A = this chain, B = another copy of it.
Amino acid sequence: MAKLQLVTASKEARAPRVRHSQKPVAIVPQPATEPKDHFITRNGMTYAGSHLIIDLWEAEGLDDRSRIEEALIDAVHAAGATLLHIHLHSFTEGGGISGVAVLAESHISVHTWPERGYAAFDVFMCGDAEPRKALSVFKTAFNPGRIVIGEHKRGVL
């Protein structure tokens, strides 16, 4: 099913922490009439899309709902994807946040544990979107000391 790839990035190697939000964001009215999740063929392989499993450690701002929402939206833009719906849920004060962004190309989700400096993202994008471009947005937004990435090619024919 999947190519599993592990990548780590040290705190020293990351880019300077500059926020560059592209808000405000227009969410496409529903129903969207054209899907953007067509199968793709790359390097001789035909599949639905790439699903990145991203763990951030030693990360900041994981109890900051607006920072998380902004990062999700910025990641959608960076990847060239189309936002259809976004929802965030805050747990107890200072506790974790869950967020999902439904896209014309699939979704991004995040769940955070601020007390552990840990955030669990997944970025699944089909068609012509570029899910790896979300990574630099997450690095900038949450300043992680360490990132671990797994990748699944979904729907390989």
Residues of A within 8 A of B (CB): 1-2, 4, 6, 30-35, 37, 39, 48, 51, 53, 55, 84-85, 87, 89-92, 95-96, 98, 100, 102-104, 106-107, 109, 111, 113, 116, 118, 120, 122, 124, 126, 148, 150, 152, 154-155
Contact = CB atoms under 8 A, between A and B. Distances in A.
Contacts of A6: 1
B34 A91 contact: yes
A interface secondary structure, majority: strand
Contacts of A48: 111, 113, 118, 120
Contact of A34 (B87, B92, B152): B92
B2 A118 contact: no
The 5 closest A-B pairs by CB, nearest first: A35-B91, A1-B148, A100-B100, A120-B154, A106-B111
A148 B48 CA distance: 14
A78 to B, nearest CB: 20
Nearest to A106: B111
Nearest to A98: B102
A1 B53 contact: yes
A52 to B, nearest CB: 11
